[in-house]
């Protein structure tokens, strides 16, 4: 049974922050890691060793793994660039060694280059069909793309290669949007309860998914409990912070979002949610104006770079903060071509309803019906779109 050393890094990530200029020379741009920090000391040591032996495959992949982990735990996309730099001798090779190819796929998946990531993953599996991490990452990418049958098949291949909790969580992630939410949630919850001594990151992954599944079914109290449990485990998880913020916004609890995200402005998606919360709370006009201007600058910079990672968040920004309904709908539709998670369905329907454009909503309406997607927020939008 192989250890899934990258499992935590295949999970969904919120859009990363684009570079921005501070408005004030006294502004704190970044809290740099302390040089005395043990983890930073280890990284410096590994970098120094790699600079002396840049072709050392074991050393390079070890350093890249550490950087990929930090990109998530520190919500800092720069670490993905550092990981790529560590793999520089092999990065552009058509057929690099399997460890490099798997890491490259993980980085490509994190930056939404899904097609390239799948090519690498399929190549890894062709060489090593028992590579559990490759199957898991492949399932994640295929789920985001909406290829549920292939995603389920990839999850099934994990059986016998890793723990039951990993397999069941992978399957539940697909089943939750294909009409099997309640049963898969029950099975996942039972499996988690029986998986004593499991790795903390695996427990966190399962608990976070359970929180989202409860929220989509409208079980607010249960979702609240699970979100809080997951946040107690990983308070800096940017994806979880975004999911919980969306839950709070749907519950009309905007002040709590402002408090929750007060130190998270560097992440575009979290700054967006903070701005949406400010919009719903009186007395927040000045910080809302500043946040809106900041987001506009970041999204414009992303567009100039040709960065499509931000399209879903940018569509939401355009719809609710800029009141640009046509622009929001166009962005949501472009994003829909790339990825098809519940949040992607939601922004298309929200923009289409705002535009009173049933035709624009139709592809998502058909998708929801065909795949039996269960989500109380989506069903409310389906009703609104059907009335157009």
Beta bridge partners of 162: 159
Q: Say which residues have a Cβ less than 8 Å from residue 175's Cβ, sequence separation at least 6.
A: 152, 181, 183, 184
pLDDT of residue 75: 60
Reference 339, options 318, 311, 369, 302; nearest CA is 311
- Helix, strand, or coil (residue 26): coil
Reference 64, options 121, 108, 30; nearest CA is 108
Count other Cβ atoms within 10 Å, centred on residue 15. 25
**Cα–Cα distance, 22 to 348 (Å, whole number):** 33
pLDDT of residue 21: 40
**Cα–Cα distance, 387 to 363 (Å, whole number):** 16
Q: Say which residues have a Cβ less than 8 Å from residue 14's Cβ, sequence separation at least 6.
A: 238, 239, 242, 267, 268, 269, 270, 313
Q: Are 14 and 238 in contact (CB under 8 A)?
A: yes
Length of the chain equals 388
How many helices and strands (H and E) does the chain possess? 21, 0
Going by the DSSP 8-state scheme, the letter that residue 96 receives in this structure is: -
Q: Say which residues have a Cβ less than 8 Å from residue 235's Cβ, sequence separation at least 6.
A: none
Reference 344, options 372, 377, 322, 321; nearest CA is 377
Q: In the chain, which stretches have pLDDT less than 70?
A: 1-37, 73-76
pLDDT of residue 238: 87
Q: What is the pLDDT of residues 245-259, one digit of tens each?
A: 999 999 999 999 999
Q: What is the pLDDT of residues 178-220, one digit of tens each?
A: 989 999 999 999 999 999 888 888 999 999 999 999 999 999 9
Cα atoms in the 13 Å half-sphere on the side-chain side of 197: 1
Q: Say which residues have a Cβ less than 8 Å from residue 130's Cβ, sequence separation at least 6.
A: 2, 161
Model confidence, pTM:
0.87
The DSSP string of 256-308 is HHHHHTTT-TTSHHHHHHHHHHHHTSTT-HHHHHHHHHHHHHHHHHHHHHT--
Beta bridge partners of 159: 162
Q: Are 172 and 189 in contact (CB under 8 A)?
A: no
pLDDT of residue 6: 53
Q: Are 269 and 238 in contact (CB under 8 A)?
A: yes
- Tell me the backbone φ, ψ of residue 162, rounded to 5 degrees: -150, -165
**Cα–Cα distance, 154 to 118 (Å, whole number):** 12
pLDDT of residue 27: 42
């Amino acid at each position: 049974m192989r250890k899934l050393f990258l499992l935590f890094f295949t999970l969904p990530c919120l859009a990363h922050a684009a570079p921005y200029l501070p408005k004030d020379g006294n502004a704190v741009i970044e809290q740099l890691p302390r040089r005395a920090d043990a983890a930073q000391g280890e990284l410096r040591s590994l970098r120094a060793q790699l600079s002396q032996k840049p072709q050392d495959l074991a050393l390079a992949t070890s350093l890249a793994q550490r950087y990929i982990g930090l990109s998530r735990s520190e919500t800092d996309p720069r670490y993905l660039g550092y990981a790529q730099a560590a793999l520089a001798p092999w990065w552009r090779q058509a057929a690099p060694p399997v460890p490099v190819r798997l890491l490259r796929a993980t980085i490509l998946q994190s930056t939404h280059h899904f097609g390239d990531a799948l090519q690498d993953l399929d190549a890894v599996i062709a060489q090593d069909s028992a590579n559990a991490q490759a199957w898991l990452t492949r399932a994640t990418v295929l789920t985001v793309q909406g290829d549920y049958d292939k995603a389920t098949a990839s999850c099934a291949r994990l059986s016998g290669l890793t723990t039951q909790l990993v397999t069941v969580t992978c399957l539940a992630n697909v089943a939750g949007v294909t009409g099997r939410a309640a049963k898969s949630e029950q099975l996942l919850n039972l499996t988690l309860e029986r998986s004593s001594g499991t790795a903390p990151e695996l427990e966190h992954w399962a608990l976070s998914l359970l929180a989202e599944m409860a929220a989509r079914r409208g079980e607010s109290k249960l979702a609240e409990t699970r979100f809080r449990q997951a946040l107690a485990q990983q308070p800096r998880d940017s994806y979880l912070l975004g999911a919980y913020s969306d839950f709070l916004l749907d519950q009309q609890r905007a002040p709590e979002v402002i408090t929750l995200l007060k130190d998270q402005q560097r992440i575009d998606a979290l700054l967006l949610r903070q701005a949406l919360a400010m919009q719903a709370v009186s007395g927040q006009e000045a910080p809302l104006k500043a946040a809106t201007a900041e987001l506009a600058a970041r999204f414009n910079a992303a567009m100039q770079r040709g960065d499509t990672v931000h399209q879903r968040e940018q569509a939401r920004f355009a719809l609710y903060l800029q009141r640009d309904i046509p622009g929001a709908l166009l962005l949501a539709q472009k994003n829909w071509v790339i990825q098809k998670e519940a949040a992607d369905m939601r922004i298309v329907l929200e923009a289409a309803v705002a535009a009173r454009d049933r035709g624009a909503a139709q592809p998502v309406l058909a998708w929801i019906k065909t795949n039996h997607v269960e989500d109380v927020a989506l069903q409310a939008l389906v009703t609104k779109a059907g009335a157009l």
